[in-house]
Amino acid sequence: MSTQAFTLTAPRSTVLFAGLMTDDTQSLADGLRRRDPDVLDRLIEQYQQRLYRYLLFLTGNTALAEDLFQETWIRVLERGHQYNAKSKFESWLFAIARNLVIDVSRRKKIASLEELGDSESNQPFELPDERSVSPLQLLVTRENEQVVQLSLLKIPAYYREVLLLRFQEELSLEEISTVLSTPLSTVKSRLYRGLTVLKSALPEGAA
């Protein structure tokens, strides 16, 4: 086993958004300050997959995730002047989305985030068609993915969200700390504990 296997690979997003951290970030902030609809259209296209996936895993409810997706972008429009271009746009975006999820949970007088999803009937989300793999491979892959989905929905939301932000959205620890408005040490401890909890939530013999 190579030593390289243990180092964290550079997140996709680091490469994709390296350019955005300089002049593009500033022009993005200017566009948001002007409430430029073209800038927002582009951002909605660009982040639709990541934001929807984040909301879906956080809430476990497709209708609620859709509503919150739209509300997040409305809030980005209304509060665009607050984005200061010092942090990554995606951190700011996920923080807005997370605050909306918390607002919804408060409105519904739900004690915690995990009650948002229909825990009694937590079904895996609908997966898109995959035509490039054999039916058998597809079945096995889907089963694994569904097992992971279900296990993820079973664990407490405060572990789920750090796992999603770290391993799915590939944010750095500092960025996660910004999104959650939580100290770095708490983020780390939730990640360590979350990994253990997620593994224990998997059915016997899985992953």
Partner 1 sequence: MTGNPHVRAQQLFAQSLVDGLASADQEWLAAHLRECDSCSRESASTRELLSALRAVPVAVPRDLAARTQMRVRLRAQQVAQASESNFLLWVVTGASWLLGVFSAPLVWRGFTWVGVQLNLPKPVLELGFVLWWAIPALIAVAVVIHQRTLNGIGARSSSSEARH
Considering only 16, 26, 41, 81, the residue that binds partner 1 (CB under 8 A) is: 41
Of 21 and 202, which has the nearer Cβ to partner 1? 202
Q: Does 40 bind partner 1 (CB under 8 A)?
A: yes
Span near partner 1 by CB under 8 A; candidates 18-26, 89-97, 98-106, 193-201: 193-201
Q: Does 166 bind partner 1 (CB under 8 A)?
A: yes
- Look at residues 81, 91, 98, 88 and name the one whose alpha carbon lies nearest to residue 30: 81
Of 23 and 37, which has the nearer Cβ to partner 1? 37
Phi, psi for 85 (deg, rounded to 5): 65, 5
CA-CA distance, 35 to 183, in Å (whole number)? 32
Q: Does 132 bind partner 1 (CB under 8 A)?
A: no
- Look at residues 160, 61, 47 and name the one whose alpha carbon lies nearest to residue 96: 47
- Look at residues 40, 74, 61, 164 and name the one whose alpha carbon lies nearest to residue 118: 61
Considering only 8, 15, 111, 136, the residue that binds partner 1 (CB under 8 A) is: 8
Element housing 150 (H / E): helix 135-154
- Count of chain residues binding partner 1 (CB under 8 A): 53
Q: List own/partner pairs for 104-110 with CB under 8 A and 24 or more apart.
A: 104/59, 104/64, 104/68
Q: Which residues bind partner 1 (CB under 8 A)?
A: 1-3, 5-8, 35, 37, 40-41, 44-45, 48-49, 52-53, 56, 62, 66-67, 69-70, 73-74, 77-78, 125-128, 130, 141, 144-145, 147-149, 152, 163, 166-168, 173, 188, 191-192, 195-196, 198-199, 202, 207
